[in-house]
């Protein structure tokens, strides 16, 4: 049996073919470079992630200029507290080995000490917990932002 509408069938297939070819060509430009090298993602993103700036330098980086403080710090009970916990990230202070800004000062020492030492119910009991208000009052002092430092050296506090 002869096909009566050969022309229509031909056109449909031609159209379909054109769509497929267009899609394949568009795909070349739409899919980013390095996509699919290691999996269903853009492989170049791996090095973009690993190339980000390291902002915390660690205690040894601080000790390059502040060696005396580190020696004192490492002899005391705060040895496990990194410098950048109480101060700020190294990158706020040093860039490419040069000082770019002063390290920001801690506004409220009382609050800072309290982050670890306030006697919260949820805080474990085998950790030195202090009712700061009561303790300051018992010592005959007045609560202020810097009051803890009147007796305690934060780099090497003795209880």
Residues that bind other proteins (CB under 8 A): 6-7, 10, 17, 21, 24-25, 27-29, 31-35, 37-56, 58, 78, 80-82, 84-85, 88-89, 91-92, 111, 114-116, 118-124, 127
User: 18 and 26 in contact (C-beta within 8 Å)?
Assistant: no
Cβ 74 to other proteins shortest distance, Å: 14
Cβ 40 to other proteins shortest distance, Å: 5
Q: Which is nearer to other proteins, 4 or 142 (CB)?
A: 4
Q: In whole angstroms, what is the distance from residue 104 CA to residue 7 CA? A: 80
Torsion of CA 110, 69, 94, 103, to 10 degrees: 20
Q: Which is nearer to other proteins, 102 or 127 (CB)?
A: 127
User: 96 and 54 in contact (C-beta within 8 Å)?
Assistant: no
Cβ 98 to other proteins shortest distance, Å: 19
Q: Which is nearer to other proteins, 51 or 140 (CB)?
A: 51
The contacts of residue 66 (CB under 8 Å, 6+ apart) are 83
H helix runs in the chain, sequence order:
6-30, 44-50, 59-63, 67-74, 83-86, 109-117, 132-138
Q: Which is nearer to other proteins, 66 or 119 (CB)?
A: 119
Cβ 139 to other proteins shortest distance, Å: 20
């Amino acid at each position: 049996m002869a096909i009566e509408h050969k022309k229509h069938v031909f056109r449909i297939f031609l159209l379909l073919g054109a769509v497929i070819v267009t899609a394949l060509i568009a795909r070349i430009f739409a899919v980013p470079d390095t996509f699919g090298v290691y999996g269903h993602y853009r492989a170049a993103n791996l090095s973009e992630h690993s190339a980000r700036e390291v902002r915390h330098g660690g205690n040894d980086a601080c000790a390059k200029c502040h060696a005396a403080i580190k020696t004192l710090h490492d002899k005391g009970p705060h040895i496990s507290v990194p410098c950048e916990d109480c101060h700020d990230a190294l990158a706020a202070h040093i860039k490419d080995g040069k000082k770019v800004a002063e390290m920001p000062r801690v506004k409220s020492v009382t609050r800072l000490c309290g982050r670890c030492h306030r006697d919260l119910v949820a805080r474990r009991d085998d950790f030195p917990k202090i009712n700061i208000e009561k303790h300051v009052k018992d010592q005959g002092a007045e609560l202020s932002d810097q009051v803890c430092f009147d007796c305690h050296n934060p780099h090497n506090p003795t209880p």
